[in-house]
Structure 1
Amino acid sequence: MASIKKEDCGCPRRQKSKCAHKPYRVFYREPGGRAGSLRQASFKLLEDAQAFAVKVERDKDLGTYVDPKQGQRSFANVWEEWVNAGVLEASSKANYDSVYRNHYKEPFGSRPIGSITPSDIAKWEEKQRVNYKAYGVQGRFSVLSSVFNYAVDAEIIGRNPCRKANARKNARKTAYVPVSDDEIPTTEEVLGIIAEAPKRIRAGFWAMAGCGCRPGEALGVSDESMDWEGAILHKTHQVSAHGCNEISGQNRGVKRGTKHRDPERPDLLVKAPVPASVLEIFADHIDSFGVWGDRGWFFESPRKSEHHPSYDWFLNQFKEAAGRAGTPDYTPKSFRHFFVSQAIHEGIPLFEVAAWVGHRTTRVTEVVYGHLVRRAMDRGANAIENRLGLGLAPFKGVIVPPQWLGEGADDDT
């Protein structure tokens, strides 16, 4: 059992209430009985010492004891341990580093991780929602919660403060947020942005709008990835700010595989249909600019021959083109939204759409594009109504639902 001892300091009696000494010491053992290490903690007030002693014994009984010294580790230190705990690609580590510097470092970085409370998380989230879209805030919240979950599993802290940061229970069931109609460009807006893009990169914009490619996947299109006869694009590679040295020989370049797909499993790699018009645009691009490298890459750096374009350069080209077209709020992701929305409007099965754009499951597609799916269901109901409803009038009063039949009625009536 924990015990409390008072050790008087040498300060004059009149100064004891204001001195920095902590006379009350709690002596306790870590879990394991007599084999547990003997620990102590000092407190200024007796009631604080008593509360700590009770908590220590309760945590040992419940099996939730955590060494208080572990909670003194800075958030930055635990973050670094979390990032390096698994095997991450250079691009993923770079993304995490950027997220940490821009969103976590200032409010949490230097603080002891055990001192971060649910109230701190709620204030951080509220501030985030003022400056960023809900989808981004939700994603960063999920990452933050993952860090604290790791700290709990590693017995660094006793609880995850993100769990109580929102008073509305089950308010966060997914990190995915539905897109709104104003995030989906019209056909005219898509064509307007493409028209303003540099000619040497327009085919990449068509790959996003016509095949649902992410920016990195669009830059990774090659002659080798095209099934020209079947009009199918195999999304086997993507260009990243931190590429794969094994392929590109440099940090910036192309890497195998795309998001949520195992490059060792070719059957899982993403494939998407290529519209006839886009197929013709791809062919025209090759005729005009040629290809390079062993795979016949479509896009080449404007500054350095036989090198992939910069991922950031591609994003800047889109931003500038969207601005010149008078639609500056659209991003490359808007073109993916356009592709998915058009496919759903045409009644393409959801599992097909999810496979084409590389969603892990159809659940992601349902959440993000839920309102479009509901509209498709309405169209489906109307289509059946056009077949059954229009010819139903002569049968009214004749067709009787089985549950309305009286007792003893013949089911074959």
Structure 2
Amino acid sequence: MATIKKEDCTCPRRKKPTCPHKPYRVTYREPGGRAGKPRQVSFKRSEDADAFAIKVEREKDLGTYVNPKSGQRTFESVWQEWVSAGTLEESSKANYASVYRNHYGPFFGKTPIGSINPEKINAWEADQKERGYKPNGIQVRANILSSVFNYAVNAEIIGRNPCRKANPRKNKGGTTVTPVTDSDIPTMSEVLGIIAEAPKFVRAGLWSMAGCGTRPGEALALSEDSMDWDRGILTVDHQVSAFGCQEISGFRRGVKRGTKHRTYDEARQTPVAESIVEVFNDHIDAFGSWGERGWFFESPRLEQRHPSYDWFLTQFKTAASAAGTPQYTPKSFRHFFVSEAIHNGIPLFEVAAWVGHRTTRTTELVYGHLVRRAMDRGARTVENRLGLNLAPFKGLIIPVPASPLEEDAEDWDDVA
């Protein structure tokens, strides 16, 4: 049990209220019985010492005790430990470093992590809103923040995650994905307009996004080896990144094996229409390929190097502006692919597998309004198929009465 001992200081009585000494010393052992390490904490007031003694014993009983000194570590040091604890790729670490500089460092950086409470979390969210960030982006960063505190709890640095009680009115069923709306999806004529304005050298990449659902980085990593030309199947297992795999590209920026939500040795496959297979063949005939895998795209400035995403984005924006649709981004072509697949009745689990979503739940959340429309079309299809044919049977379907009929009431009375 924790004990409290008063050790009076030598300061004159009139100076005791303002002197720096802490006469009330709480002595206790960390969990583990006699093997627990003895600890001492001093307080200025007896009330604070009593409260701490009760608190530490209760936490030991509940199994939630954490060494108070651990909570004195700065949020910055715990963040760095959290980033280094996993097996993140260099590109992810660079993204986290940017997020920390812009969103967490200025607000939490040098603050002891044990002193960050729900009020501090709410203040951070309010600051994010004042800086003009969108709710969805704030929620994503709040989830990352909560993951850091969860790590600190599991590592016994702090006792509780302050994000859990930061906003009790927040909708726990909310999502961290941005739903796609009709305005985010180009029409077929708009897709064709942008591709027509794009340089011929990049059109195969645009068609792979609009016709195969690839991400921009995946489109830039198209190669002859990734195509099954006879069956019309594209294997998506590489992507162009700012932090490419040294073994493959030989440079820090280049192509790397593995895609989003997929490990190094995993890949996904997506069908390729005959017309797009022809586009790919025409691209190789016109511009050739390079490297052992037969990469489709090469940097316009550096030989035997992959083009950067920034260069590809510039080509797309220029073409979209020239086509009169500057609101679209390369990802809009991917939205077009998913929209067409859902509209044409492709099962949702197939669409999710083709575009590389973790589960069909992600597809439902992002493209929810399209899924709901597909449900309506399904109901109408069933109605058209069965509704007209049920007419001859309507007179033969007799519902079972829920209670005895009035004319049988006397018979039931006799039975009773």
Is TM > 0.5 for Structure 1 vs Structure 2?
A: yes
User: What's the counterpart of residue 194 of structure 1?
Assistant: 195
Residue 234 of structure 2: SS of its match in structure 1? strand
Query: Superposition pairs for residues 8-407 of structure 1, below 5 Å?
Result: 8-129=8-129, 131-168=132-169, 171-172=172-173, 174-265=175-266, 269-400=267-398
Question: Shift of residue 75 of structure 1?
Answer: 1.2
1:276-333 Cα offsets, whole Å, 9 max, x none, are: 3322322222222211111110111111011011133323433444444444443332
- The 2-side partners of 1:272 and 1:119 are apart by 47
- The 2-side partners of 1:57 and 1:189 are apart by 68
User: What's the counterpart of residue 409 of structure 2?
Assistant: none
Deviates more, 1:190-199 or 1:148-157: 190-199
| Paired amino acid for 2:104 | Y
- The 2-side partners of 1:62 and 1:276 are apart by 64
Question: Shift of residue 57 of structure 1?
Answer: 0.6
Deviates more, 1:28-37 or 1:347-356: 28-37
Query: 8 Å contact 1:241–1:312 — kept in the other structure?
Result: no
- The 2-side partners of 1:86 and 1:338 are apart by 35
Question: Shift of residue 59 of structure 1?
Answer: 0.3
| Paired amino acid for 2:105 | K
Question: Shift of residue 194 of structure 1?
Answer: 3.0
Asked if 1:5 corresponds to 2:5, the answer is yes
Instruction: Report the CA distance shift for 1:54/1:105 in structure 2 as closer, same or farther (over 3 A).
Output: same
- The 2-side partners of 1:97 and 1:321 are apart by 33
Question: Shift of residue 65 of structure 1?
Answer: 0.3
Question: Shift of residue 35 of structure 1?
Answer: 2.1
- The 2-side partners of 1:126 and 1:116 are apart by 15
User: What's the counterpart of residue 410 of structure 1?
Assistant: none
- The 2-side partners of 1:165 and 1:178 are apart by 25
Residue 396 of structure 1: SS of its match in structure 2? helix
- The 2-side partners of 1:132 and 1:183 are apart by 19
- The 1-side partners of 2:314 and 2:119 are apart by 38
| Paired amino acid for 1:383 | T
Question: Shift of residue 358 of structure 1?
Answer: 0.8
Unmatched 5+ stretches in structure 2: 405-416
1:172-211 Cα offsets, whole Å, 9 max, x none, are: 4643343233322333333343344333222212211211
Query: 8 Å contact 1:318–1:332 — kept in the other structure?
Result: yes
- The 2-side partners of 1:84 and 1:404 are apart by 69
TM-score by length of 1: 0.90
Question: Shift of residue 110 of structure 1?
Answer: 1.5
- The 2-side partners of 1:215 and 1:288 are apart by 22
- The 2-side partners of 1:193 and 1:45 are apart by 73
Unmatched 5+ stretches in structure 1: 408-413
Query: 8 Å contact 1:134–1:177 — kept in the other structure?
Result: no
Instruction: Report the CA distance shift for 1:334/1:123 in structure 2 as closer, same or farther (over 3 A).
Output: farther
Instruction: Report the CA distance shift for 1:263/1:35 in structure 2 as closer, same or farther (over 3 A).
Output: closer
Q: In angstroms, what is the RMSD of aligned CA positions?
A: 2.4
| Paired amino acid for 2:300 | P
- The 1-side partners of 2:93 and 2:150 are apart by 19
Question: Shift of residue 4 of structure 1?
Answer: 2.5
Identical pairs, percent? 70
Structure whose CA Rg is larger = 2
- The 2-side partners of 1:260 and 1:177 are apart by 17
Query: 8 Å contact 1:74–1:111 — kept in the other structure?
Result: yes
Question: Shift of residue 21 of structure 1?
Answer: 3.9
Residue 85 of structure 2: SS of its match in structure 1? coil
Instruction: Report the CA distance shift for 1:400/1:52 in structure 2 as closer, same or farther (over 3 A).
Output: same
- The 2-side partners of 1:223 and 1:7 are apart by 81
- The 2-side partners of 1:337 and 1:47 are apart by 62
Question: Shift of residue 125 of structure 1?
Answer: 2.8
Instruction: Report the CA distance shift for 1:44/1:181 in structure 2 as closer, same or farther (over 3 A).
Output: farther
Query: 8 Å contact 1:217–1:235 — kept in the other structure?
Result: yes
Instruction: Report the CA distance shift for 1:179/1:9 in structure 2 as closer, same or farther (over 3 A).
Output: farther
- The 2-side partners of 1:162 and 1:46 are apart by 31
- The 2-side partners of 1:323 and 1:122 are apart by 41
How many residues are aligned here? Answer: 404
Question: Shift of residue 271 of structure 1?
Answer: 0.9
1:208-227 Cα offsets, whole Å, 9 max, x none, are: 12111111111110111112
Question: Shift of residue 77 of structure 1?
Answer: 0.8
- The 1-side partners of 2:129 and 2:317 are apart by 23
Residue 398 of structure 2: SS of its match in structure 1? coil
- The 1-side partners of 2:10 and 2:195 are apart by 79
TM-score by length of 2: 0.89
1:382-401 Cα offsets, whole Å, 9 max, x none, are: 01111111233333232235
